[in-house]
Amino acid sequence: MASQYSYKARNQAGKLFTGKIEAENRHKAIALIRERKFFIVEIKEISSKGISISLDKVFQKKVSSKEMAVMCRQFATMAQAGVPMLQCLNILTQQCDNRILKETLNKITENLEGGMSLTESLKSFSKVFPVIFVNMVESGEVSGALDQVLDRLAVNFQKEHELKEKIKSAMTYPAAVIIVAVLLVAMLLIVVLPRFITLLYDMKAPVPISTQLVIGLSNFLRGSWYMVLILLAGAVTGYKRAVTTERGRMLKDKAVLKLPLFGPMIRKIIISRFCRSLGFLLKSGVPVLQSLDVVKNIAGNYVVTNSIRDAENSIKKGHSISLPLQKSGFFPPMVTRMISIGEETGSVDTLLEKVADFYEREVEELAARLSSLLEPVLIVGMGVVVGFIILSVMLPMFSVINNVK
- List, for residues 257-309, the tens digit of each pLDDT value: 888 878 888 888 888 888 888 888 888 778 888 888 888 877 777 878 888 88
Cα–Cα distance measured from residue 354 to residue 272, given in angstroms and rounded to the nearest whole number? 10
The total of other beta-carbon atoms located within 10 Å of residue 32's CB is 17
pLDDT at 53: 40
Sheet holding 39-45, edge to edge: 16-23, 3-10, 39-45
| CB hemisphere CA count around 76 (13 angstroms) | 19
Distance CA 55, CA 50 (A): 9
Determine the length of the chain. Answer: 405
CB 166 within 8 A of CB 364: yes
pLDDT of 49 reads: 43
Kindly give the pairing relationship between strand 39-45 and strand 16-23: unpaired
Query: How buried is 385 (Cβ within 10 angstroms: 0-12 exposed, 13-18 middle, 19+ buried)?
Result: middle
Contact 14, 37 (CB under 8 A): no
User: In this predicted model, what pLDDT tens digit does every residue of 351-391 receive, in sequence order?
Assistant: 988 898 898 888 888 888 887 888 788 888 888 888 888 88
pLDDT (0 to 100) of residue 120: 81
The contacts of residue 220 (CB under 8 Å, 6+ apart) are 227
Report d(CA 344, CA 351) in Å as an integer: 12
The Cα 244–Cα 264 span in angstroms is 25
pLDDT at position 57 is: 41
- Would you state the pLDDT for residue 258? 86
Q: What is the structure's pLDDT at 405?
A: 53
Number of C-alpha atoms within 13 angstroms, CB side, residue 303? 18
State the pLDDT at residue 178. 85
Query: Which residues of the chain are under the pLDDT cut of 70?
Result: 1-2, 12-14, 17, 47-62, 205, 399-405
Q: For 53-114, give the DSSP string.
A: HHHHHTS--PPPHHHHHHHHHHHHHHHHTT--HHHHHHHHHHH---HHHHHHHHHHHHHHHT
pTM of the model: 0.66
122 exposure class (CB count in 10 Å sphere: 0-12, 13-18, 19+): buried
**Nearest alpha-carbon partner for 263 in 398, 138, 366:** 366
Q: Is residue 145 within 8 Å of residue 345, measured between CB atoms? A: no
Predicted pLDDT of residue 310: 84
